[in-house]
Amino acid sequence: MDAVVEGFISEGEPISSGWLYARHDFGIKPAMIRLELEQLSDNGFLEQPYHSAGRIPSDRGYEFFAERVLEEADWGIGGSIFLNNLRRLMERRAWPELAERLSDDLRLLGVAGDARHGVLCKEGLDNLIENMGRASQDEIKSVIKDFVELDERLRKFGEKFGDLAEPKVFVGEKSPVTRSKSLAVVAGNCGDEVFLLAIGPKNKMDYKKTIKVFKNLKGNRKNGRNKK
């Protein structure tokens, strides 16, 4: 399952049993891999765009992959320059710069909010659209509409993000703040009712890197409070 999701994000094309066999040593032949793909499709984790094509992840497949990443993500980038810069911006409560830095590094739409003081900053619509690749005009319009209406939706749902114990991933229509079927949202609470969102195309997002960033920031704030 993970190999299909990562392969599709990397290649942008449906993933076949032959492609998987050539790039991974699963210890089984292509026919068995094909049976595994069929079973994953029957269970709703994969989809087949058309007969005889390879497979692509469904929203359920992306969610399953993201949940595994959340469980397994470590603190491996805790001392990175990028994360240290984010922490300094959080300490200064420099929300516009924080959202912009998040967007530029992850190539997504970055959002920083302070639910306590009603502050919301969003940066990087250009990064989000550029990262969507061969998106249709309807998809682009849907994303732009989400960007315009994001402020109002976050006024309604921002407090929920401020209460998150761990980062959470929303895919497609399950997101409470976006409506586009093409998007995924990674949300995290950084303490003191401060929340961050990374919004990007579900089929291009670097889930592992984004989730690690959010988990490291959350952990940093916890550790900081414990030391006082």
Same domain, 51 and 82: no
CA 114 to chain CA centroid, nearest Å: 20
Q: Is residue 72 part of a domain?
A: no
- pLDDT, position 226: 40
Query: Rounded mean pLDDT of 52-64?
Result: 93
Q: Is residue 64 part of a domain?
A: no
Q: What residue type is assigned to position 223 of the chain?
A: N
At residue 34, what are phi and psi to the nearest 5 degrees? Answer: -60, -40
Contact 23, 11 (CB under 8 A): no
Q: Is residue 138 part of a domain?
A: yes
pLDDT interval class at 113 (50, 70, 90): confident
Same domain, 52 and 146: no
Number of domains in the chain: 2
Same domain, 45 and 86: no
pTM for this entry = 0.89
Same domain, 27 and 131: no
Same domain, 223 and 133: yes
Contact 102, 110 (CB under 8 A): yes
Same domain, 52 and 114: no
Please tell me the number of Cα atoms within 13 Å of 41 on its side-chain side. Answer: 19
Token pair of 182 as six digits? 């093409």
Q: Is residue 66 part of a domain?
A: no
Q: What is the pLDDT of residues 64-99, one digit of tens each?
A: 999 999 888 665 555 578 888 998 998 899 999 999
Per-residue pLDDT at 187 exceeds 80: yes
Same domain, 85 and 171: yes
| CATH number of the domain encompassing residue 167 | 3.30.450.40
Q: Cβ of 130: how many Cβ atoms within 10 Å?
A: 10
Same domain, 88 and 10: no
Same domain, 96 and 183: yes
Q: Is residue 199 part of a domain?
A: yes
| CATH number of the domain encompassing residue 12 | 1.10.10.10
Q: Strands 168-171 and 194-201, how do they pair?
A: unpaired
Q: Is residue 65 part of a domain?
A: no
- Write down the mean pLDDT value for the chain: 88
* Domain extent for 24: 2-57
- pLDDT, position 228: 37
Contact 3, 55 (CB under 8 A): no
Same domain, 53 and 81: no
Out of 38-47, 62-71, 172-181, 217-226, which region has the weakest mean confidence (pLDDT)? 217-226
Question: Please, which residues have CB within 8 angstroms of residue 158's CB and are 6 or more apart in sequence?
Answer: 113, 115, 120, 195
pLDDT interval class at 215 (50, 70, 90): confident
